[in-house]
Structure 1
Amino acid sequence: MKHRLLLFMLLISGTIFAQLTEPEVDALVNRTMATFNVPGIAVAVIKDGKVVLSKGYGVRSIITKEKVDANTLFGIASNSKAFTSAALAILIDEKKINWDDKVIQYIPEFKMYNDYVTSEFTVRDLLTHRSGLGLGAGDLMIWPDGHNFTPKDIINNIHFLKPVSGFRTKYDYDNLLYVIAGELVARVSGQSWNEFIEQRFLMPLGMTHSAPSWNRLKDTSNVIVPHVPIDGKLQVIKRYKNNIFDAAAGIYTSVNDLSKWVQMQLNNGNYNNIQFFSAKQQKEMWTPQTLIPVTTIPPYNTHLKAYGLGWFISDIAGHSQITHTGGLEGIVTQVTMIPDLKLGIIVLTNQQSGSAFNAITNAIKDSYLGIQQGDLVDIYSKKDKASEDVADKITDEVWATVAKNQKEKITVNAADYVGTYKDNWFGDIIITAKKGHLYFSSLRSPGLSGEMFFVKDHQFAVRWNNRFFHADAFVNFAEGNRNFEMRAISPLTDFSYDFQDLYFEKQ
């Protein structure tokens, strides 16, 4: 009787919680899809070396209505970065390179913004987001799709990007250096990054439906399409297909396949008695390299947050957490591991709401940690609404000013702004005039084209023709109109639209 009473008291006091059952996960995911307008989601949970749930929900496309299942393929975007770091770990185990070798040993033409940084930049530095470059610096060489930049262009152009902090002093997330890391894998191994990932990970893990790039998928009969809300209505958009991004964000996989990768990670690099990389290298990849500012608040009471080698690392409620997210236009994903609980959670989605995967991951995670923090779907929904209200106020004011100018017939002399302008790394753009209206067109990235609207003084707002970018931008001319700079209008613009790094001069 005493034991039963004690158990009852523990249960009602909140110190013991059962893990979410499959029907409870089903209800959680379905409510998440409805709340955040996500057509399709796949979820997997790995515990104690076994897959305890692997399941698809909703539809791959709002047009075809085909169902998502556990073998449905999603682009996992930046969750590909951990594969690149693991590829380098294999080469280190094979004594072909070391983490602290200089990059110029393998890529002699590699050059950063000053000679010291160039000479000291290591393999480790490629992966740890501490280069001194700003958040997403140079991402307009990979984003949006439809451009003609190559990895060679990135290697040649990265030295034009100006630092915003001292070398190795500050965390700022970067994609370009992972592209260069993929090139380093190729030069050391003698295989392309894609071939290396296929032969050293996907094939031996039995990830038979997966591929390191959309363009290498053998079967696309069971794959999601990306979705983006545009003017309040969910729409299917074009898929990102460019190979330039592969080492940073290229992999397509399913929860069934990706579960094998997570099982291997949670087992010191071993899966089905195959040792992919040593436990020593796994520890290195999960060791904090670059500190990230953190605010310690309940319920996780995180005191440390850092980036390792292809993974984010933090402490949550007394446990180490290893995680990463990934995002392409219309697709976002999350992989989370708590190694001492032998717990892995995968959430893949075909819409770009990060709150959707956070609500699901954290609800499942909390059930294992014995944490209750309320209705996470509702909490994240309210946070989204607050952020969107702030952003809408900013953008609405800009376009209201434009509309007022048009109503009052306030005009500028379009000929004063027409011409070809060049940025050192982004290349040429052309501003043309048609019937008094100005148009912005990028030569190397044709997707970045749209009409320019006068705001005030020498400031214009460019409205991109592709509305799913959600990245309309200011064009700010200097006096004399010989040069201009840009910046995003909305604070919710994805950081990969790094307009602030551009500086155009008239040719």
Structure 2
Amino acid sequence: IIHNLRYLKQVSGFRTKYDYDNLMYIVAGEVLARVSGTSWENFIETHIFQPLGMTETATSFKNVKNKTNVIDPHAPVDGKVQVIRRDWSEIANSAGGIYSNITDMSKWIILQMNDGKYGDGLEKKIFSEAVHEEMWTPQTIIPVHGPTPYNTHFSAYGLGWGLSDVKGYLQATHTGGLAGIVTQVTLIPELKLGIIVFTNQQSGAAFTSITNTIKDSYLGITGVDRIKQNHDRVVKNETEAAKITGDIWKDIEAEQKKNAAPKDISLFTGTYTDKWFGDMVIYAKNGKLWFQSKRSYLLNGEMFPYKGNTFIVKWGDRSLDADAFVQFDLDNNGKANHIKMNAISPLTDFSFDFQDLDFSRVK
């Protein structure tokens, strides 16, 4: 992963705009390991978890001591919320591998409220006040658009914290998101308020509703139903996205009913590579095209002819919710030699940045 970062095209100048990237947290974890001479997992457990008494917290699912009371991830699949696979790689632990609970996470939040100090008389510290101030100092500006729920005028990213003003108070917050698991931690230091929301599903509207309802009670805001507010927004966005994807599948069905001469699928089969992502194979099975990534094995699915030289790939794992356009370029002999991709739904998670992939045929 780190080696192949050099192949990703830069889209903006350093810190000129905000773009979240889990890959950089993987890099940060490796930097810590190189500097400290121990693994990221061991360093975090030794220097943070143990001093704070976070005995029920682990740096990865593999290291969870008692797995009898651990949530399973859930996601909507064909309209029904159900348990999905626990999808994570040990190499990415520094980006999102930690398992914890409210009791232990509260110890971390209280440490933040006390500028890195802990213990009965706050005589011990994990990080200095100067370091903490730098964490909560804006490093990258994030634009604020339109009216906001809490009269927010500025937004920025600090060092691992999202920063903004809410009703005149500083707010530091961060979310976490894996397939079927999303979380949020919010701090308003002047109110000594810390809000921790862990969920075993993947709608961010859930933790937003809970967090904002609690914030409202501290900020004196009444008469606002945050659950309805976020539910209505989700329904609106999902309805618009469903129309987009539904219209595309109607077009595909219409094309199939025309009984037009089928495409010569042998023109498209082969192995293609992207310098960052590696190889993927377009292969024929039962007279149809299929897509298979060599590195991301879950990216496997049937391909349906759409328009011209564009296909739709329908991933076999429906919990991904990320079907995509696959657009072929042809050489002078009419054989595919290049592929670009784009997500179909505007709600596709940013983790699936298909548009950044640039595949060329290798065989």
TM over 0.5: yes
- Alpha-carbon distance in structure 2 between the residues aligned to 1:298 and 1:322: 16
CA distance in 2, matches of 1:351, 1:167: 34
2:31 maps to 1:181: no
* Superimposed CA distance per residue, residues 375-415 of structure 1 (whole angstroms, 9 cap, x where no aligned partner): 11111100000000111011111111111112222321111
Say which of 159, 162, 170 aligns to 1:320: 170
Aligned partners of 1:206, 1:286: CA distance in 2, in Å?
24
Written as runs of structure 1 = structure 2, the 5 A alignment for 1:125-164 is 154-164=1-11
Q: Give the structure 2 partner of residue 86 of structure 1.
A: none
- Give matches, 1:59-458, under 5 Å: 154-272=1-119, 273=122, 274-372=124-222, 374-410=224-260, 411-458=262-309
Say which SS state the counterpart of residue 225 (structure 1) adopts: coil
Equivalent pair of 1:418/1:431 in contact (CA under 8 Å): yes
Query: Is residue 300–residue 317 contact of structure 1 (8 Å, CA) maintained in 2?
Result: yes
In structure 1, C-alpha distance between the alignment counterparts of 2:221 and 2:309, rounded to whole Å = 54
Give ranges in structure 2 of 5+ residues lacking alignment.
Answer: none
Residue 371 of structure 1 deviates from its aligned partner by 1.5
In 2, Cα distance between equivalents of 1:168 and 1:286: 16
- Looking at structure 2, the residues matched to 485 and 298 of structure 1 have their Cα atoms a distance apart, in angstroms, of 37
Aligned partner (choices 328, 346, 354) of residue 491 of structure 1: 346
- Partner residue in 2 for 1:464: 315
Q: In 2, distance between residues paired with 1:373 and 1:505?
A: 56
User: Matched residues in 1 for 2:213 and 2:182: separation?
Assistant: 18
Distance 1:171 1:246 in 2: 23
Measure the CA separation in 2 of the matches of 1:296 and 1:200: 42
Higher relative contact order (CA 8 A, sep 6+): 1
Aligned residues with identical type, % of pairs = 54
Alpha-carbon distance in structure 1 between the residues aligned to 2:132 and 2:10: 31
Moved more, 333-342 or 407-416: 407-416
Pairing of 1:37-52 with structure 2 (within 5 A): none
Q: Deviations for 1:131-166, whole angstroms, at most 9, x for unmatched residues?
A: xxxxxxxxxxxxxxxxxxxxxxx2210010011112
Any conservation in 2 of the 1:270–1:277 contact (CA below 8 Å)? yes
- The gaps in structure 1 that reach 5 residues or longer are 1-153
Structure 2 residue aligned with 1:133? none
- Whether the aligned pair in 1 keeps the contact of 2:165 and 2:171 (CA below 8 Å) is yes
Shift of 1:242: 1.1
Q: Using a 3 Å threshold, how does the CA distance of structure 1 residues 296 and 396 change in structure 2: closer, same or farther?
A: closer
Contact persistence 2:15–2:139 (CA under 8 A)? no
- CA 1:368–1:197 in 2, change beyond 3 Å: closer, same or farther? same
- State the shift of 1:428 in Å: 0.9
Once the two structures are superposed, residues 331-379 of structure 1 have per-residue CA deviations (whole angstroms, 9 ceiling, x without a partner) of 1100000011111000100000111110110000110011135111111
- Runs of 4+ aligned residues of structure 1 deviating over 6 Å after TM superposition are none
Question: Over residues 220-249 of structure 1, what are the superposed CA-to-partner deviations in whole Å (9 max), with x where a residue is unaligned?
Answer: 111000001111111100112311211111
Shift of 1:203: 1.1
SS of equivalent residue, structure 2 residue 69: coil
Rounded Cα–Cα distance in structure 1 between residues aligned with 2:186 and 2:199: 15
Provide TM-score, normalisation by structure 1: 0.69
Cα separation, 2, equivalents of 1:156 and 1:426: 11
* Paired residues of 1:427 and 1:443 also in contact (CA < 8 A): yes
Question: Shift of the alpha carbon at 1:167?
Answer: 2.3
Q: Equivalents in 2 of 1:351, 1:343: separation in Å?
A: 25
Deviation for aligned residue 1:285: 0.3
User: Which of 314, 324, 338 is the equivalent residue of 1:473?
Assistant: 324
TM-superposed deviation, 1:479: 3.1
2-side partners of 1:346 and 1:500: how far apart?
34
Q: CA deviation at 1:498?
A: 1.2
| Cα pair distance change 1:498/1:392, threshold 3 Å | same
| 1:298–1:484 CA distance, 2 compared to 1 (3 A) | closer
Instruction: Specify the code of the residue in structure 2 equivalent to 1:320.
Output: L
Q: Counterpart of 2:78 in structure 1: which amino acid?
A: D
Say whether the 8 Å CA contact 1:299–1:373 is kept in structure 2.
no
Q: State the 1:436 CA deviation.
A: 1.7
Shift of the 373–304 alpha-carbon distance from structure 1 to 2, 3 Å rule, reads farther
Question: One-letter code of the match for 2:88?
Answer: K
The code of the aligned residue for 2:295 comes to: R
Shift of 1:299: 3.7
Shift of 1:294: 0.4
Amino acid at match of 2:284: A
**Number of aligned residues:** 354
The answer on whether the counterparts of 2:137 and 2:158 sit within 8 Å (CA) in structure 1 is yes
CA RMSD of aligned residues (A): 1.0
Question: How far did residue 471 of structure 1 move?
Answer: 0.6
SS at match of 1:400: helix
